[in-house]
Structure 1
């Protein structure tokens, strides 16, 4: 019966994580199915491993396989990786543990960490862009000044990915602080 309560708690937690935190902020429908599938799959595997007399080697091998599964068609962001790990952890906690105060608290802690860490109000003025400029910049100070004019904010970090002197272009990854007057949607 306690395993059923743990599974129910996991279903509630993954629903909150996926439908209450992730999707309203990122709107990637494809990852909703991925988070749910990973979580329920891990819950099922962890429940079987926790209840049967299966060797530790087989269990570690299964989780090794789960940890290297990756979608090859699309890159995912570091934020989405965090949601994947949260989905995995929620399933593992519920599948391997009994629902008690510690298990429930750990599940709430995972949800709270992502709710806070991915909240739109946290560092809301910091932006990240990959920009292709129609001029070749070989001097970082000149490039920084140009990007600050173009983006209208203070550049805090930049990484030149490509300078094409033949076609006169620069590809740069830039992190910048947007002016405080830029509106930001809060989910």
Structure 2
């Protein structure tokens, strides 16, 4: 009876997970992947699982499927979290813990952690982009000022990935925080002033 309850809880949890993911990100191919991985792990682990090999089977499935998935088409870190959640839910639904409530509690905790952390209102101003800038920028202060003026945002971290002196381009990975529209104009002006100051100092 407990096994049927866990299977039902897993199917409900993976249904909610994939439905929420699709509403937020609209990738149908990953919905199929999440459902297929979850139900596949649930079926295999339920068929082969037993008290003596349950833990080893769960870890083995987790490791093998992780290697297969991460060696295929590239997905971002947010989708990796959904993928591992789908995998873990399948294992929790197939291999009962010491008590039924414990497995159900872990399912609910895992579901809540992923869905709440990925909520659009959580840290919505903080973003990351990879940009290719026209011009080889070697001065970090000038680079940050240019990015803030371009993005209209406060740059928290910038990593220069490549400076091409032949083609005159700069490749950067930038993490920034969007600012309110009323503050954006003043922030962009500050960035332009900083860039002019840096340019003037270089000329002098």
Which band: TM-score by shorter chain?
A: 0.7 to 0.9
**1:100 has 2:109 as partner:** no
C-alpha displacement of 1:52: 8.3
Which residue number in structure 1 is paired with residue 133 of structure 2? Answer: 133
TM-aligned CA deviation for residue 74 of structure 1:
2.9
In terms of mean alpha carbon deviation, does 146-155 or 91-100 score higher? 91-100
- Which whole-Å CA distance do the structure 1 matches of 2:118 and 2:109 have between them? 14
1:111–1:57 CA distance, 2 compared to 1 (3 A): closer
TM (normalized to structure 1)? 0.87
**Counterpart in 1 of 2:149?**
149
Aligned counterparts of 2:115 and 2:181: Cα–Cα separation in 1: 25
- Farther-moved stretch of structure 1 (55-64 vs 117-126): 55-64
Coordinate RMSD, CA, aligned: 2.3
What CA distance in whole angstroms lies between the structure 2 residues aligned with 1:76 and 1:16?
Answer: 21
Q: What's the secondary structure of 2:69's corresponding residue?
A: coil
Structure 2: runs of 5+ lacking an equivalent: 183-204
**Residues 60 and 152 (structure 1), Cα distance of their counterparts in 2 relative to 1, 3 Å cut:** closer
With normalisation by structure 2, the TM-score equals 0.80
Shift of 1:63: 4.0
Answer 1 or 2: which has greater helix percent.
Answer: 2
**Mapped partners of 1:167, 1:135: distance in 2:** 8
Deviates more, 1:35-44 or 1:58-67: 58-67
Unaligned runs of 5+ in 1: 183-187
- Report the counterpart of residue 64 of structure 1 in structure 2: 63
Q: Is the 8 A contact 2:155 2:177 kept in 1?
A: yes
124-133 or 92-101, which moves further after superposition? 92-101
**Equivalent residue pairs, number:** 181
What residue number does 1:49 align with? 48
Deviations 1:35-72 (A, max 9, x none): 11111111112212324876976765444322211265
Higher relative contact order (CA 8 A, sep 6+): 1
* Distance (whole Å) between structure 2 residues aligned to residue 107 and residue 62 of structure 1: 18
